[in-house]
Structure 1
């Protein structure tokens, strides 16, 4: 624990989390644009998307920002966006993952040796992976509700919610595994990254739940920040989950360093 705290301070994770949160906010709306364009081909309603966000414990204030921007984008979005324009939009959305990758390199005390296009390509692929996690989670959510209604068993409500939550957590774990495995500019194995991925998945779900509960019951950001209160809530949530992702990377880097020391003895 003492070693982790030393790394936490030395690598300035609070500041790096704020940097990642900024790029997450910058990437959010281009990412939403692609999601909206893709969903135009699928039988999903906006309410399905917002229910998914609620199940992921997105804070109410943050949800308001996403919903309002969603309404603006859906007024003008055309299916044709799934073309070169979508790729350019995803490239912009990958800025957040690129920022996290840079932070992971710092955790391993390594410099970026990969070509620029390869590094950005990895960030782009991870962004696409996150995109398909959202789509898969939507499918699970809608299918789960239909199965429950078809069985006409109210007792299934809790079980189906638990199944959907578990599967969403599993998909988050897979994405975090890919992030921690391919993100740093060094060769890593599954056993080098799975502990941090587990910690990040648990941290994401627990922290998001408690922050969402806090915002909905106690905090009123609009009273302090006025009309931008919802944006502030979104930024704080982004900072929180970014910090959790970076902590997962630090855990992996710390354990990798310990293993190398043991092998050297």
Structure 2
């Protein structure tokens, strides 16, 4: 009980709601550049966006959120390969790293440390993390493709690879790996896996519960399109980004509290 009281105090004192809103803004700002980068990256890989989209699509992610991503992807892929777009691909990682840069600053606040890695090094670290996180997603997708090919080669039914349970387990492991990487290398201090896995586990479970609940709320109790018109999907996306950011920062606070107890 005392742990929850201390956690709430840190939640309030560090203004995680406000920091989450800041991170949500940068996530929204980074979405379009990330999709541009993904268009370029997928052109070198043996699968299409729709295959990856089907893999990432789960029942608990709000349909409004998925619709925004799909619409933006369609818009990007139908643009002519102009010099402006090529320049955008080169510049995109710098812009896409804005969200991670904001998250890293917030994680430093949780540990009461200042960012001493310099502006350039910090930004390149954010860019590197952005690339790593994208590669984790693609690696998980390739794992499923290899599994399907293996089952076909040995004439085995691929029920395990295509089942909802397997997809959920793979998504959970993917999320856990992403959060573990962020919590391990994000703050400006040396951390061990044993000091960050609790927060990563909390964020993984909490994110799935929160997004499932938000999806149910949108489907049965509210309709952002009726309230906000054509902006409804964008509003839903912003709220979902906010929920994700707050949970991510809360997981960092949990890790910081546990480290303080150990020290």
TM-score, length basis structure 2: 0.88
**1:219-253 CA deviation, whole Å, 9 max, x = no partner?**
21001111100000100110011111001100001
Q: Within 1, Cα distance between the matches of 2:51 and 2:17?
A: 34
Q: CA deviation at 1:158?
A: 8.2
Q: CA deviation at 1:117?
A: 1.6
Matched, 1:100 2:103: yes
Matched, 1:24 2:27: yes
Partner of 1:205: 208
Matched, 1:3 2:6: yes
Partner of 2:133: 130
Partner of 1:185: 188
SS of structure 2 residue aligned to 1:94: helix
SS of structure 2 residue aligned to 1:58: coil
Q: CA deviation at 1:56?
A: 7.3
SS of structure 1 residue aligned to 2:139: helix
242, 247, 252: which one pairs with 2:255?
A: 252
Count residues with an aligned counterpart: 259
Partner of 1:239: 242
Where do 1:69-148 residues align within 5 Å?
Answer: 69-76=72-79, 78=81, 86-143=89-146
SS of structure 2 residue aligned to 1:114: coil
Where do 1:59-78 residues align within 5 Å?
Answer: 59-76=62-79, 78=81
Matched, 1:45 2:32: no
Contact 2:36–2:88 (CA under 8 A) maintained in structure 1? no
Q: CA deviation at 1:104?
A: 0.5
TM-score, length basis structure 1: 0.88
Alpha-carbon RMSD across the aligned residues, in angstroms, is: 2.6
SS of structure 1 residue aligned to 2:94: helix
**1:45-93 CA deviation, whole Å, 9 max, x = no partner?**
3332332332273311111111111111001265999987534211110
Q: Which range is displaced more, 174-183 or 233-242?
A: 174-183
Q: Within 1, Cα distance between the matches of 2:196 and 2:49?
A: 35
- Unpaired segments of 5 or more residues in structure 1? 261-265
Q: CA deviation at 1:259?
A: 1.2
- Unpaired segments of 5 or more residues in structure 2? none
Q: CA deviation at 1:190?
A: 1.6
